[in-house]
Chain A
Amino acid sequence: MPQSLNRIAAMTARYYYILRSSWLRLLEIVYWPAMQMMVWGFLYTYLYDSKSAMASTAGLLLGAVLLWDVLFRGQLGFTFTFLEEIWSRNLANLMMSPLQPLELAASLMLMSLIRLVIGTLPVLLLTWLLFGFNVYAMGPGLIAFFLNLVLTSWAIGLVVAGLVIRQGFGAESLAYSIMIVLLPLCCVYYPVAALPVWLHPVAWSLTPTYVFEGMRAVLLDGTFRVDLMIECLALNAVYLGIGFTTFVTLLQSARHKGGLLTMGE
């Protein structure tokens, strides 16, 4: 076990060195979420000041954008950290070392969390200073929302990383595009009730749906739906298991297919 932790720490240090080596990379982590938040923040201010029927939903909109970004950036952080290994032609070095797939996944998760904190904290501060939207108004539920979204982002990241190992650079674009499929189905900006009835089971099979419904319950009714968060956590445990199994299966499949040594060439 100490050896395993040592290997996870070594990999996390490796990713930290990369991050530290370029201020442009650090800026990039903050830049996109900050710009996105500016756009939605101005819309929030406009709706809030308009005193129209839309004013009451302005906070919902901004809260949804913030939480969606946690999910999106969490997955990007996981996948891009992994893609570094492909881009630098280092994957075979890692596969030939005693590093286990679970340890690699754990270090990617840790790094995704670090990148998320670096990217999210300044944006939250910006939202509060510029638009007066205090995300902490969501109370302790915010931690549950954050945790569940991060777990989902890791499960998706594991599948994408597995596909990149199996299919090579062809699957790289999934890193950007896979989350867009979820956007309409997990009801980020509208309640599940807004979807056609036949899509409800699909929406409830997706963990972010529970988070965004929970967020609306907090912001509209002032109630924290513990039941939703527990269901979400249970579903996340299943998805993480599926994600890791998929990652290992695709890695094994890549060993049959060949090409791990030359990956990144």
Chain B
Amino acid sequence: MSRIEHFLARKHLTPVSPGTTPTQGNAPDRLDVDDAPAIAVESLCKQYRTHWAVDEVNFIVPKGWTVGLLGGNGAGKTTTISMIMGLVVPSFGRAMVLGHDMATERHKVLSRMNFESPYVALPGRLTVRQNLTVFGRLYGVANLKTRIEELIEDFELGDVLDRVTGRLSAGQKTRVAVAKALINDPDVLLLDEPTASLDPDRAEWVRSRLRGYQKRRGATILLSSHNMTEVEQLCDFVVIMSHGRVVAMGRPQELAERFKCRDLDEVFIYLARVA
């Protein structure tokens, strides 16, 4: 049986039962957009030539949750996030955001989401103010001046506002990138290593801002990180990937208990070696 036949057979014969945990199972085919989970990843697969970068991944992120997507290098996190953003089209399965298939209907939902990733930079030749203005206008932000002033205050950007973004320190750039990610008050926020280049003090400072935003806005956050302390502090739920597959999911504390580890850090190391 070929890999594809195997996949299809598996998909038909062993559907993941919904409701086993808040983040498992397939969403119904037709779901009212308002009732849809913030993110639903259903049998998601991505094949590059002969390599399966993502291999039948399923999880659901309910609205208002912060979920961590963890895994070692090459685990498939970035590809999964890229498919959720609609930047990569899945080979099989689908990634839904707020009830819309990101492969075919992404433009219906893009104004309600945003992201930050170390792979992507803000235009370095523009000042921070110019960048925030351009992206605010792209997202159609109402009262843009007020929104930028709020972000300047929240992220203490006043002293760098008129400086060229490319000449900022790594930490300052990250703060600006997170501010850009919040410019449109997104309902769904995708963060790839949001504090990777920050010192522990600044990282905690950014985390507190993200927590504050999530609480105030009731936003959904999908976060990829290698910093397990960060994940434990921010995330309600964790999905751990290895070799393109989900190898474990649960609340951080539950996972530690399940694998008889002291904390998530140990769970991560254990799964990286075993899986």
Q: A residues near B, CB below 8 A? A: 3, 6-7, 9-11, 13-14, 17-18, 21-22, 84, 88-90, 92-100, 252, 255-256, 258, 260-262, 264-265
Contact A98 B110, beta carbon cutoff 8 Å: yes
Contact A10 B126, beta carbon cutoff 8 Å: no
The residue in chain B whose Cβ has the minimal distance to the Cβ of A13 is B134
Compute how far the CA of A98 lies from the CA of B180 in the bound complex, rounded to whole angstroms. 14
Compute how far the CA of A180 lies from the CA of B46 in the bound complex, rounded to whole angstroms. 39
Residues from chain B with Cβ under 8 Å of A96 in the complex: 85-87, 110, 113-115
Contact A261 B139, beta carbon cutoff 8 Å: no
Total count of chain B residues near the partner, CB < 8 A: 38
Shortest distance in angstroms between B106's beta carbon and chain A's nearest beta carbon?
9
The 4 closest A-B pairs by CB, nearest first: A10-B137, A89-B121, A97-B138, A92-B120
Task: Give the dominant DSSP class at A's interface.
Answer: helix
Contacts A/B (CB < 8 Å), 23 sampled: A6-B137, A6-B140, A9-B137, A10-B133, A14-B126, A88-B121, A89-B121, A90-B120, A90-B123, A96-B85, A96-B86, A96-B114, A96-B115, A97-B110, A97-B135, A98-B107, A98-B111, A98-B139, A100-B107, A258-B46, A258-B53, A260-B88, A261-B120
Residues from chain B with Cβ under 8 Å of A11 in the complex: 134, 138
Residues from chain B with Cβ under 8 Å of A9 in the complex: 137
| Given A13-B130, A262-B119, 13 new contacts (CB under 8 A) | A7-B137, A7-B138, A10-B138, A13-B133, A88-B121, A89-B121, A92-B87, A92-B119, A96-B115, A97-B139, A98-B111, A98-B139, A258-B48
Residues from chain B with Cβ under 8 Å of A93 in the complex: 120, 122, 135, 180
Contact B119 A265, beta carbon cutoff 8 Å: yes
The residue in chain B whose Cβ has the minimal distance to the Cβ of A91 is B120
The residue in chain B whose Cβ has the minimal distance to the Cβ of A262 is B119
Contact B124 A88, beta carbon cutoff 8 Å: yes
Of B88, B119, B120, B140, chain A has the most CB atoms within 10 Å of the CB of: B120
Residues from chain A with Cβ under 8 Å of B122 in the complex: 88, 90, 93
Residues from chain B with Cβ under 8 Å of A95 in the complex: 87
Of A89, A98, A252, A264, chain B has the most CB atoms within 10 Å of the CB of: A98
Shortest distance in angstroms between B45's beta carbon and chain A's nearest beta carbon?
13
Task: Give the dominant DSSP class at B's interface.
Answer: mixed
Compute how far the CA of A128 lies from the CA of B135 in the bound complex, rounded to whole angstroms. 43
Compute how far the CA of A242 lies from the CA of B261 in the bound complex, rounded to whole angstroms. 59
Compute how far the CA of A96 lies from the CA of B119 in the bound complex, rounded to whole angstroms. 13
The residue in chain A whose Cβ has the minimal distance to the Cβ of B121 is A89
Contact B88 A258, beta carbon cutoff 8 Å: yes
Contact A255 B87, beta carbon cutoff 8 Å: yes
Shortest distance in angstroms between B24's beta carbon and chain A's nearest beta carbon?
26
Which of A7, A17, A89 contacts B120 (CB under 8 A)? A89
Residues from chain B with Cβ under 8 Å of A258 in the complex: 46, 48, 53, 79, 82, 88
Contact B119 A261, beta carbon cutoff 8 Å: yes
Residues from chain A with Cβ under 8 Å of B255 in the complex: none
Shortest distance in angstroms between B233's beta carbon and chain A's nearest beta carbon?
26
Residues from chain A with Cβ under 8 Å of B82 in the complex: 258, 260-261
Residues from chain A with Cβ under 8 Å of B168 in the complex: none
Shortest distance in angstroms between A248's beta carbon and chain B's nearest beta carbon?
13
> Does B117 belong to the interface (CB within 8 Å)?
yes
Contact B119 A89, beta carbon cutoff 8 Å: yes
Contact B140 A3, beta carbon cutoff 8 Å: yes
Compute how far the CA of A262 lies from the CA of B77 in the bound complex, rounded to whole angstroms. 13
